[in-house]
Amino acid sequence: MSDTEYDIGLVTFVKCTSQKENQMGSQTPLELPTIDFSNIKNLNQGTTVWDSTKAQVLKTFQDYGCFEAYFDEISDDLRNSVFASLKQLFDLPLETKLQNIPGKFFNGYIGQNKDVPLYESLGIEDTRSFTHLMWPHGNPEFCNSIQSYIEKLTQLDQTMRMMILGSLNLDKYLDEHMELTSYVLRVMSYRAPEKHESSLGLKAHADKNMMTILHQNEVGGLEVQNGDEERIKANVSPNCFVVMAGETFNIWTNGGLRAPLHRVVMHGEETRFSLGLFTTPKWGKIVKTPQEMVDEAHPLLFKPFDYGKFVKFYSKKENFPHESALKKFCGVSS
Ligand SMILES: O=C(O)CCC(=O)C(=O)O
Ligand SMILES: [Fe+2]
């Protein structure tokens, strides 16, 4: 972690500079703000550090909808094991990967799609049963490292949500908010494009769920859109995790947060691996904006909705991948 600091308004951001940049001493490119979550175990509510971190989280979510979390709970060994496991997983025969038929839409195998030919992904709802499905004779290293990775990122997710609700004075909804969601870990592989192919790995989109934590290998390629033109390349430092608000969080806060557009562009000849912990509303539970976020100046933007019903609606051809699908589904003026 570099010790370079800079101010934006009231809060100070610590830059999470990549080693490559340091060594090459190149000029600083546009970067996402970074928030320091090192020493998370000692980050206690009510302390000055907690309060300043909480203010940073809300401000970056309001301004960008996204930031890089510097999080050092995933050891080098665990990270190496996770990325090595991903290579092993994607090297499995297609028939094996296709067996990952999920409990829910969009959680299964996605790939072999001519619109995004470089991209392949698998959703992991339950690590044990997923491992058994992929390796019927067992793969304890995969199972243990993925499970431990999910547990650590879950801690980061919950800390950040606690901070956002706290900053909005909505602490009383915390238990309800945590109960509302479950997690899926989506693991992704992007092969390098052939000479005649486009380098676009994943088209620009905003996530529909509550919040996403992304982690990429050193190949990089994740870009976040800021404003109409500007695209910011996400850092590839090993301890940097890109945290993004999804459209459901924007709805829950009555438009109080941004859900940024982002995409993946491939460079070079290496395969890119990435992981995303997707915090997603449980099917059958109702996502409802707290009344405190609504007043005359801020009328209700979205009606309460069941995410499961939305996913079914979204999976229909005419609604996918419609940018304003949620607006169409439960927007107040629609
Ligand atoms: O691979 C990545 O880093 C981004 C993936 C992504 O944006 C998504 O799955 O929604
Ligand atoms: Fe995404």
In this prediction, residue 74 has a pLDDT band, given cuts at 50, 70 and 90, of very high
- Which residues face 121 on adjacent strands? 110, 188
Phi/psi for 13 (5° steps) reads -110, 145
- Cβ of residue 219 lying under 6 Å from some atom of ligand 1: no
- Phi (first) and psi of residue 162, to 5 degrees: -60, -40
Please choose from 90, 202, 267 the residue to mutate so as to test ligand 1's pocket, defined by most ligand atoms within 8 A of CB. Answer: 202
CATH fold of the domain at 2-291: Jelly Rolls (2.60.120)
pLDDT tens figures, 100-154:
876 667 788 999 999 999 999 999 999 999 999 999 999 999 999 999 999 999 9
Query: Which residues are registered as beta bridge partners of 14?
Result: 5
Query: Higher pLDDT residue, 273 or 8?
Result: 273
Model confidence at 24: pLDDT above 50? no
Rounded to the nearest whole angstrom, what is the distance from the C-alpha of residue 47 to the centroid of ligand 2? 33
CA distance 7 to 163: 20
CA–centroid distance, 289 to ligand 2, in Å, is: 23
- Among the ranges given (12-26, 64-78, 147-161, 212-226), the one the predictor scored with the smallest mean pLDDT: 12-26
Looking at residue 315, its pLDDT comes to 85
Q: Could you give the CA distance from residue 277 to residue 160 in angstroms, rounded to a whole number?
A: 13
Domain ranges of the chain: 2-291
Which ligand 1 atom is the nearest neighbour of the CA of 212?
Answer: 10
Cβ pair 238, 275 in contact under 8 A:
no
Tell me the pTM: 0.91
| Sign (positive or negative) of CA dihedral 76, 77, 80, 81 | negative
User: Which among 90, 222, 235, 261 is the best mutation to test ligand 1's pocket, defined by most ligand atoms within 8 Å of the CB?
Assistant: 222
Ligand nearest to the CA of 215: 1
Residue 183 tokens read as: 């997690």
Q: Where does 60-118 show beta strands of DSSP type E?
A: 66-70
Between 174 and 21, the higher pLDDT residue = 174
The closest of 142, 170, 127 to 83, measured between CA atoms, is: 142
Q: Which atom of ligand 1 is nearest to the CA of 188?
A: 1
pLDDT at residue number 321? 67
Give the end-to-end CA distance of the chain in Å, rounded to a whole number: 47
- Give the atom of ligand 1 at the shortest distance from the alpha carbon of 121: 9
